[in-house]
Structure 1
């Protein structure tokens, strides 16, 4: 973890030059407003006194919750440990991007939180606080982000491999976007997951379910695999577009700074338009 923290700070420092801050007001702890309770939020957040006066449940928001907050979720599940050809595991790339993005955002005056692990904070030591929260996580990580209730002014960044069933991914995006929060889905993949370079007799093992599949001529599966990959990404992209979110693909053989710059620029542009500086691999462009 210390190595990832140092790498994140180095990348953030390199990218920071030429970027404009995103400073906003609203950092206090005073009462701001009541808003409707969103499915998936902890019941402890309900203001029962206010809710008793109506037929709906309400949450009492403070200023920092109403202000712009960026929630960053790095996928830490078992499938993210996969890596080939001495490339970094997908989990390490997700953490480096999460830390570096948080560092940039806090320096620009934003608040950053990690769903279920860390409340939004504008602390200058945000990277160390995020790393500590990840290390002390009480439960085994899941393959999809947790259901929580971001405020309408929030922005969400999801960093994972997103190989779960497309219907489950689409449903989670829909739930997180229900409050009006804007978001970005970043699929982080190892190059072999795009190019399917396998041939001959190969045994594939599912890292989270434990299933195994032995293939006699793996190369004969390549064409069908490519079609499934295109279909899977198209469904995720469609779900993101319906929610007004963006969808990016990043390969671990590309510099982390490419993704950090592109993601930060998309956030600054409100998720519209292309993101200069984001380099896709040739097969990623074809799949998209």
Structure 2
């Protein structure tokens, strides 16, 4: 099990060079939440933003007479529009995610957890509410929320492959799923369709070990799932390569198609690639306007 404090520290280090990650709010009428931090635009709120010249449509009571007395024109105080978008994360914690083909490479689970928590840190810095799917951790802001998230993400699941959950998603909110997506594709499709029915948009990030994409096996090879529940032995592993790569490509194509159909975005990431690149992609994906 990964230590929560170490996971949080790694995620903080990854998040620190990036600007605040602000998830784009869609259908604001149903998702506006008043908060202490907001986007710098005029609207309903209590925090002063700027003075602006009064317009003909402004009511007399909205004029700041003290500021106006220092000028030949009348001025109005604009308030900052304080909105917070709920973003729900599902980070795969199943046994398949604990795979690493090289001691110098992180496990898929470690990379997924760091990316998920780093995204949460950036979201919360930007004033968003972040939580976990499955009603495990309702969306909130603050340091305590990040610590609880780190603790929950540090737990492992004994099942071979993970299945995303759509439970707990607020209508018209945002979501992020991080997994190897090597398990039941029907479960992924069901979760995305349920999310789409609620107006939820988001991002799918597939995390793979480089060996899973290259299939560098030859001769007698024993393939075994990380939990030990699945096992396959072959004397000619090289003969499986073409079929394996074709099926992996088909799976990626299906994920891409599901994402496009439901208004999500999809990207694949290898653990031998820099985590910062993946986090920048998440930044753009979660800001994407449909």
Give TM-score, length-normalised by structure 1.
Answer: 0.74
Q: Deviations over 1:169-219 (max 9, x none)?
A: 212211222101102111110011111011121100123571211111111
Equivalent residue for 2:9, pick from 3, 6, 9: 6
The offset of 1:100, in angstroms, is 0.4
Quote the residue 2:63 is aligned against.
none
Distance 1:67 1:110 in 2: 5
Quote the residue 2:85 is aligned against.
68
RMSD: 2.3
2:222 is paired with a residue whose SS is strand
Structure number with greater Rg is 2
2:17 is paired with a residue whose SS is helix
Structure ranking higher on relative contact order (CA contacts 8 Å, 6+ apart):
2
> 1:20-31 counterparts in 2 under 5 A?
21=22, 26-27=33-34
Distance 2:33 2:219 in 1: 59
Report the count of equivalent residues.
Answer: 231
Distance 2:22 2:166 in 1: 29
Equivalent residue for 1:120, pick from 139, 146, 170: 139
Whether contact under 8 Å (1:67, 1:153) holds in the other structure is no
Verify: 1:90 aligned to 2:97, yes or no: no
Distance 2:188 2:101 in 1: 25
Distance 2:270 2:112 in 1: 11
> 1:1-288 counterparts in 2 under 5 A?
1=3, 2-16=5-19, 21=22, 26-27=33-34, 68-86=85-103, 87-115=105-133, 116-135=135-154, 143-208=162-227, 210-270=229-289
The offset of 1:151, in angstroms, is 2.2
Q: What residue ranges of structure 1 are gaps of 5+ in the alignment? A: 29-65, 273-288
Measured at CA, do residues 163 and 20 of structure 1 come closer, stay the same or move farther in structure 2, by a change above 3 Å? closer
Q: Deviations over 1:11-60 (max 9, x none)?
A: 100223xx5755985147xxxxxxxxxxxxxxxxxxxxxxxxxxxxxxxx
